[in-house]
Amino acid sequence: MANLPETAGPLYEKVKDYILDHIGSGAWGKDQRVPSEHELVSMLGVSRMTVHRALRELTSDGHLIRIQGVGTFVAPPKPYSTLIEIVDIASEIRARGARYRADIILLESLQPSQELLAAFDFATRKPVGHSMILHHENDMPVMIEERFVNSDLAPDYDKQDFSAVTTYDFLQKSTPLTEVEQVIAAITADEDTARMLALEAGAPCLLLHRRTWTGSTVATVNRFTYSSRYTLGSRYAPSAFR
């Protein structure tokens, strides 16, 4: 009988470690077959439910691929990709210990343009909420936030007091977010943008386009323009690795 690692913790964790060790050492390579539940039961001397739990968790972590009726296989290695978490700018600024302020430049309900209709995937013309807010760090403008909000999901968007509640907090409470699409680009600030962000003409700016969904309906279409004084970034520890 094979030996389980002597790490602490519950049995199914030891079974997970046993399997991860074999994958990590290369003994069980990519796409290769992992012993069946029944075989692991014989090899390790634990019950099938315990083996099953270990295999199920490793599968949801992306280490294994299981096909009912066929078997369990080592998953291809994780892509060397990373995730950037972008948080609410108000909390981001405050987290750095800086003073945060937001100026509401505009808050209205408007008839969407053709382009916006397409972004919302609307079949018929109906008004959407629209806001433009200038965010400051220590009274220095750092980001222009422009949001278009689906009025079906947040009908009173243009009647909120966003000097008291951030758009972020309001939207978090009113609409459950299910999906996000984002594009980041570098642009040269045009005259208006440069003026608002107190930049020299021609300064480079970070542009973040974002669409969010709740279910299959588009909830918001956003455009964030960051001053070149500002950087986006964070640190993220992928949980798929041990």
Q: Mask 72-101, x = binds DNA (CB under 7 A)?
A: x-----------------------------
Q: Which of 45, 181, 190, 198 is the binder for a second copy (CB under 8 A)? A: 181
Is there a contact between 58 and 72 (Cβ–Cβ < 8 Å)?
Answer: no
177 scored as a contact of a second copy (CB under 8 A) = yes
Nearest to 224 by CA among 200, 202, 206: 206
Q: Which of 78, 94, 96, 99 is the binder for a second copy (CB under 8 A)? A: 78
Q: Which of 77, 138, 165, 195 is the binder for a second copy (CB under 8 A)? A: 77
Is there a contact between 129 and 151 (Cβ–Cβ < 8 Å)?
Answer: yes
Torsion of CA 63, 67, 71, 76, to 10 degrees: -30
The CB-of-176 to DNA minimum distance in angstroms stands at 25
Is there a contact between 185 and 207 (Cβ–Cβ < 8 Å)?
Answer: yes
239 scored as a contact of DNA (CB under 7 A) = no
Per-position b or e across 195-206, b if 16+ CB within 10 A of its CB: ebbebeeebebb
Roughly what angle, to the nearest 10 degrees, separates helices 11-24 and 37-44? 110
Nearest to 78 by CA among 8, 24, 133: 24
Residues 6+ apart with CB under 8 A from 83: 236, 238
Q: Mask 182-221, x = binds a second copy (CB under 8 A)?
A: xxxxxxx-------------xxxxx--xx-x---------
27 scored as a contact of a second copy (CB under 8 A) = no
19 scored as a contact of DNA (CB under 7 A) = no
Q: Which of 68, 80, 97, 115 is the binder for a second copy (CB under 8 A)? A: 80
Q: Which of 111, 156, 178, 190 is the binder for a second copy (CB under 8 A)? A: 178
Residues 6+ apart with CB under 8 A from 146: 130, 131, 132, 222, 223, 224, 225
| 238 contact choice in a second copy, DNA, none (CB below 5 to 8 Å, kind-dependent) | a second copy
**Dist. CA 8–CA 165, nearest whole Å:** 47
The CB-of-164 to a second copy minimum distance in angstroms stands at 17
180 scored as a contact of a second copy (CB under 8 A) = yes
The CB-of-22 to DNA minimum distance in angstroms stands at 14
**Dist. CA 16–CA 92, nearest whole Å:** 37
12 scored as a contact of DNA (CB under 7 A) = yes
50 scored as a contact of DNA (CB under 7 A) = yes
- Residues near DNA (CB under 7 A) are 10-13, 34, 36-39, 45-50, 52, 55-56, 59, 66-72
